[in-house]
Structure 1
Amino acid sequence: MDMEQLIDRLAADVKPVPRHSIARWIALGLGLGAIGSIATVLLAFGMRQDWSVALVSYHFWVKWLYTLSLGLGAILVTARLARPDAGRLRHIWLLGIPVALLATIGLVEMSRTAPGDWLAMWLGGSWRDCPRNVLLLSMPMFVGLLWAFRHFAPTNLHAAGAAAGLASGAFGAAVYCIHCPEVSAIFVLTWYTLGIALASALGALIGPRLMRW
């Protein structure tokens, strides 16, 4: 039996993959994880007391749009890397757009604030807790994505793990907005992003061990 015959025989019983199966598995894994993350923030931290005020606050929506846009971009990269033929990620630079926009907002806010108050804007009242809490809230969704990846055939496991961690971290940060009262853009840019980066780094570290197929 030559190589072509062997390939034909191996491929003879392969069933076609349903359309949008990757999107469905990722949505299911992320959705189940999101339930765990929301339950965690409600039970462990609680909702912010001024929720009705927050919903009409410019600062709240800046935080939420930043984290959600990062999460959506990262999940598209994750879906791409779930395929064995992921190829080059030509549009990954788009993930930098939310970061650049938030940095611009932060600079504008600082320009309107006395320099003596900049440190307070940057550190807020919870800078020590924020990255850790974002990482914690990312874990249920990261586990959900790892479960979804058991149905895929990724080949770049480090990148796939990093992308899954980035998506989980960004959506975990979005969930954290339910609790976090911080309003400064420079706070969000620094400490939220640090928590998201930690989740991505963790994904890159353990992804190759848990996504291997």
Structure 2
Amino acid sequence: MNEEDLIEALARDLRPVSRHTLGRRLVGGIVLGGVATALVVGGWLGFRPDLALAMHGPTFWMKWAYTISLAFCATAATARLARPDGGVGGWLWIMALPVLGLAAIGIHELMTTPRAGWLAMWLGASWQVCSRNVFMLSLPIFGGLLWSFRRLAPTRLGLAGATAGLSAGAWGATLYCLHCPESSALFVLTWYTLGMGLAAIVGALLGPRLLRW
């Protein structure tokens, strides 16, 4: 068999792949992990008792706007990196917008709060466990994304792992809002972001080992 015959034989049974296959694969992994994370929130941490009331206030939606916007950006970057020739595009830069927006709200809080209350506003009542909880809640979603990557073809494994970890951390933080009663933008900017950052770092470290194909 010559080279041309070999190429023809290899290509004979190829089937076109839907342009939406990658997106559906990633969404499936996130949903699977997200269901597990939601069960952990409900069974381990518990939903905040005033959740229905909190969802009628601006603070809850401020937190969700922050975490969901980061989650969408990180997921979009992960989808690009799941391709052999993929790059993050401008998604990592777009993530700066919600960070800067929440920072502006935090500065406004500082300007309108007496200096004696700054520390309490920053630490809240749960700063010691918040970042840890966000990180722990990211793990099932990160596992779902690892399942998604089994049929994908990333080449920049460290960066793909980092964006997958950040995506998992941001979606985990979104579900953590169902438990967390903290209302300060400064608290969310610090401790939520730290938990998401830890997930990204772990993803970057594990990516070259777990995303190899």
Provide the TM-score with structure 1 as the length reference: 0.95
Give the deviation of 1:9 after TM superposition: 5.1
Choose 66-75 or 85-94, whichever is displaced more. 85-94
- Provide the rounded CA distance (Å) in 2 between the counterparts of 1:176 and 1:125: 15
Residues 53-85 of structure 1 show CA distances to partners (whole Å, capped at 9, x for unaligned) of 201111111001100010011100010000011
Aligned residue pair count: 213
Choose 83-92 or 1-10, whichever is displaced more. 1-10
Residues 162-196 of structure 1 show CA distances to partners (whole Å, capped at 9, x for unaligned) of 01000000010000000001000000000000000
Q: What residue is the counterpart of 1:150 in the other structure? A: 150
Q: Identity of paired residues, percent?
A: 53
Q: Does 1:57 align with 2:41?
A: no
Give the deviation of 1:207 after TM superposition: 1.1
Choose 121-130 or 44-53, whichever is displaced more. 44-53
- Provide the rounded CA distance (Å) in 1 between the counterparts of 2:42 and 2:90: 38
Give the deviation of 1:19 after TM superposition: 2.0
- Provide the rounded CA distance (Å) in 2 between the counterparts of 1:159 and 1:9: 35
Amino acid at match of 2:127: W
Amino acid at match of 2:134: V
Q: What residue is the counterpart of 1:189 in the other structure? A: 189
Q: Does 1:83 align with 2:83?
A: yes
Q: What residue is the counterpart of 1:173 in the other structure? A: 173
Provide the TM-score with structure 2 as the length reference: 0.95
Give the deviation of 1:88 after TM superposition: 5.8
Residues 10-63 of structure 1 show CA distances to partners (whole Å, capped at 9, x for unaligned) of 444433222200001011110011100000000001011211220111111100
- Provide the rounded CA distance (Å) in 2 between the counterparts of 1:106 and 1:100: 10
Q: Which runs of 5+ in 2 are unaligned?
A: none
Give the deviation of 1:208 after TM superposition: 1.2
Q: Which runs of 5+ in 1 are unaligned?
A: none
Amino acid at match of 2:199: A
Contact 2:81-2:88 within 8 A present in 1 as well: no
Q: What residue is the counterpart of 1:71 in the other structure? A: 71
- SS of corresponding position for 2:178: coil
- SS of corresponding position for 1:128: helix
Give the deviation of 1:6 after TM superposition: 5.8
Give the deviation of 1:96 after TM superposition: 0.8
Q: What residue is the counterpart of 1:119 in the other structure? A: 119
- Provide the rounded CA distance (Å) in 1 between the counterparts of 2:3 and 2:122: 62
CA shift in 2, pair 1:48/1:90, >3 Å: closer
Q: What residue is the counterpart of 1:203 in the other structure? A: 203
Choose 83-92 or 125-134, whichever is displaced more. 83-92
